Amino acid sequence: MNAFLKDLEQTAADLRQQANAFAADQRQDDADLTKIRANIYEICATIGNVVRKMTPEEQREAVYRKKLEELPRNWYTALEMARAHGNAQRAAVEELKLEALADVLARFEGRKEG
Amino acid sequence: MTEERVLQLFKCLADRSRLRIVQSLLREDMYAERLAQRLGVTPATVSFHMKKLEEAGLVTSRSEQYYTVYTIRRDELTLPLVELIAGASDQTSEQERREAQYRRKVIETFFEYGRLKAIPAQRKKERICLEEMVRGLEPGRVYTEPELNEVLLRFHEDYCTLRRDMISEGLLTRDGGLYTRVE
């Protein structure tokens, strides 16, 4: 799990760097949206680190998976609401968050297989 | 074109990604996934930009099978810059503009999809929210209490507080259990 969490932290750091590059390139909205993606990787890494410290080893995977699955509940609701009200900008933000989380989950499951 | 609209147009274009989207659309109509590839961002990010461009009146969209195809509005872009700037009319005073801006910000903060997230603690902010909600009542119509409650419930579950505060703020009159919006 250590390597996986380090990988998430690295992705967040890369995205922050990319956000700074966007901002310097007069692409402020891209920068802001990239920061949102970085936040998701950071949140997932933080949750992972807490689970690693607080949970017995044999339960870690299940607990972490459950926490990741619970995390986007409000995002789905927000996405549905945004779509229902034609709020494309908010919908785009929620989609980005969900995509980032899906990537984290895929990496987590991939790590298990490997 | 109003000054606000001209400002919105310039703000919208003062972003390299959106400028590149406009450049791409000047060559041909395009869908979000293709634009995302060109810009090196996600399709959701492109949707975000497209909404801003649509709001600024620079692009239109249409559905084609599974895709949303975007088209540039050439008529807007061929306006001479000097005409755009010189023709920007502004009939509102600075004070009016500030007030309108403050009002908009309060409404954006406290409402989400037409529902009040929380009743503001600050009286000035609450007044703005109440004024916004009272617009949901038909002018001149007399409402019974259950009818009024039903309308207020659409905004917030604490309809009693809303009803009472609307009366104390002079936005609503009560006469023997019947309520009327004050014009």
Position A88 scores a pLDDT of: 85
- Whether residue A39 lies within 8 A of chain B, CB to CB, comes out as no
Query: What distance in Å separates residue A95's CA from the closest CA in chain B?
Result: 6
Q: Is A92's CB within 8 Å of B15's CB? A: no
Indicate if the pLDDT at residue B28 is higher than 70: yes
Sort out which chain A residues have CB atoms less than 8 A from B15's CB and list them.
26-29
Q: In this predicted model, which residue has the larger pLDDT, B65 or B117? A: B117
What pLDDT, in 10s, does the model give residues B71-111?
999 988 888 888 888 877 766 677 888 888 899 999 999 99
What pLDDT, in 10s, does the model give residues B46-61?
989 999 999 899 999 9
Sort out which chain A residues have CB atoms less than 8 A from B16's CB and list them.
25-27
Residues of chain A with pLDDT under 70: 112-114
Three-state SS at A93: helix
Position A112 scores a pLDDT of: 58
Indicate if the pLDDT at residue B140 is higher than 70: yes
Q: How many CB atoms lie within 10 A of CB A5?
A: 19
Comparing CB atoms, the residue among A81, A87, A96 nearest residue B45 is A96
Q: What mean pLDDT is predicted for residues B16-21?
A: 93
Q: How many CB pairs under 8 A join A and B?
A: 52
Position B5 scores a pLDDT of: 83
Written as one string, the DSSP assignment of B84-138 is HHHT-B--S-HHHHHHHHHHHHHHHHHEETTEESS--SSHHHHHHHHHHHHTTSP
Chain A interface test: which of B35, B39, B42 (most A C-beta within 10 Å) = B42
Domain ranges of chain A: 2-113
Indicate if the pLDDT at residue B131 is higher than 90: yes
Q: Which CATH class is domain B3-83?
A: mainly alpha
Position B43 scores a pLDDT of: 85
Distance of alpha carbon B148 from alpha carbon B1, whole angstroms: 40
Position B113 scores a pLDDT of: 85
| Separate counts of helices (H) and strands (E) for chain A | 5, 0
Distance of alpha carbon B58 from alpha carbon B72, whole angstroms: 6
Q: What mean pLDDT is predicted for residues B29-43?
A: 88
* ipTM, 2 dp: 0.72
Phi, psi angles (nearest 5°) of residue B122: -80, 130
What pLDDT, in 10s, does the model give residues B66-82?
888 999 999 888 888 88
Position B91 scores a pLDDT of: 66
What pLDDT, in 10s, does the model give residues A85-102?
888 889 999 999 999 999
Position A113 scores a pLDDT of: 46
Sort out which chain A residues have CB atoms less than 8 A from B39's CB and list them.
30
Position A114 scores a pLDDT of: 45
Residue closest to A50 by CA, chosen among A10, A3, A16, A1: A1
